[in-house]
Amino acid sequence: MDEPNHPAQRKYTKEQPRRWSARVDSADAFVFVMSEYDYGFSAPLKNAIDYLHHEWGYKPVGFVSYGGISGGTRAVQMIKQVVTTVRMMPLPEAYLFPLSASSWVRPVNFGPTRCWRRPPTPCSKSSGDGRRLCDRCEPSPPEPASAGRGQFR
Ligand SMILES: Cc1cc2nc3c(=O)[nH]c(=O)nc-3n(C[C@H](O)[C@H](O)[C@H](O)COP(=O)(O)O)c2cc1C
């Protein structure tokens, strides 16, 4: 946050906050897709909220979180206190992805280092056991019973 005026004044001096303001202003509701670090939400998410004020007001916000065992639960609980300060209306339900980087969630381009794309996206290699690989891939993990489904809390 590097604007000289309080966001409640809506006197933005830079182009980026002006564009962020217009974008948030034009939305009716929000979904925050967020991770958790050391039991908390990330600094960039907090910064993105802090840049504005009235633009968030009285709009619903839902949460999709991911992370380790907790799946971002604590970060979601923390951010609720922040969003109500700018008068957003947080939904009690959240969609959680525990152990998102390593287990049963099968993301499509979810992370920068792994690719678990499956057909119809063409891959250039084959793992030899029927599963396919593309250039920066590892074999797709076996399909668990609950693949693709997170948890409602
Ligand atoms: C320093 C550090 C602390 C973390 N703390 C938590 C945590 O408290 N709870 C959790 O669920 N995951 C935790 N994680 C796991 C991250 O949430 C996970 O790696 C996530 O995929 C990061 O998402 P991002 O790369 O999109 O920011 C932590 C990871 C790191 C590197």
Query: Distance (Å, rounded) from C-alpha 14 to C-alpha 17?
Result: 6
- Ligand 1 atom closest to the Cα of residue 101 is 21
Residue 139 and residue 126: Cα distance in Å, rounded? 9
Provide CATH code, domain 1-100: 3.40.50.360
From-to residues of CATH 3.40.50.360 in the chain:
1-100
What's the whole-model pTM score?
0.72
Q: What atom of ligand 1 comes closest to residue 38's alpha carbon?
A: 8
**What is the distance in A from the centroid of ligand 1 to the CA of 83?**
21
Nearest CA to ligand 1 atom 30: 37
User: Could you tell me which of 111, 107, 57 has the C-alpha nearest to residue 87?
Assistant: 57
In tens digits, what is the pLDDT along the chain, a chain of 153 residues? Answer: 899 999 999 999 999 999 999 999 999 999 999 999 999 999 999 999 999 999 999 999 999 999 998 899 999 999 999 999 999 999 998 999 887 666 554 554 444 444 444 444 545 555 566 555 565 565 555 555 544 445 444
